[in-house]
Amino acid sequence: MREMRPRFWELPLSRLNPTEWEALCDGCGKCCLNKLEDEETGEVALTDVACRLFDGATCLCSRYETRHQYVPECIVLSPGKIAETMYWLPGTCAYRLRYEGKPLPHWHHLLTGSLETVHEEGLTLRGRTVSEMEVEEDDWEDHIIEEPT
């Protein structure tokens, strides 16, 4: 595992090492929620229907390292892919904010030292999701929500 440089999050995303890249994640879990895209407008709607591997208590993937064995379509976010995947990232996402040249929000764990601040700010869906295993895909429209901001 590579070391993280002081204030690495202020560097351009392309300069982050893999350890720094992973540490940038704020743990909100919104990227693990299923989204619906309007084919005509391209607008993306967030649902409270979470990936089958999503842990609703921690807002993290329960099998992150091996997730593609279970969910082959899971998108790997990387510096080289951020431009093409950014449209579905939540507005509070550290990857999106840094890609746009914006600073991390005051509640981000890299600034506060606590992984709980994102939850304390109410920016996650901790305890407020349903598994995709419990909801038919045709019913996801009934689960559209507003992004907690």
Question: How confident is the model over 114-124, as pLDDT tens digits?
Answer: 999 999 999 99
Residue appearing with tokens 């700010």: 121
Please state the pTM of the whole predicted model.
Answer: 0.89
Per-residue CA distances from 124 to 23, 47, 60, 96 (Å): 17, 13, 11, 16
- DSSP letter assigned to residue 75: P
Q: Which residues contact 101 (CB under 8 A, 6 or more apart)?
A: none
Per-residue CA distances from 131 to 49, 85, 98 (Å): 6, 23, 30
Torsion of CA 132, 61, 34, 94, to 10 degrees: 160
- pLDDT tens string for the chain (149 positions)? 679 999 999 999 999 999 999 999 999 999 999 999 999 998 899 999 999 999 999 999 999 999 999 999 998 899 988 998 888 888 899 999 999 999 999 999 999 999 999 999 999 999 999 999 999 999 999 999 998 87
- On whether the CB atoms of residues 116 and 58 are closer than 8 A, the answer is no
Torsion of CA 80, 27, 47, 49, to 10 degrees: 110
- On whether the CB atoms of residues 22 and 53 are closer than 8 A, the answer is no
How many CB atoms within 10 Å of residue 40? 6
Q: What pLDDT, on a 0 to 100 scale, did the predictor assign at position 86? A: 85
> Which token pair is 127?
């305890």
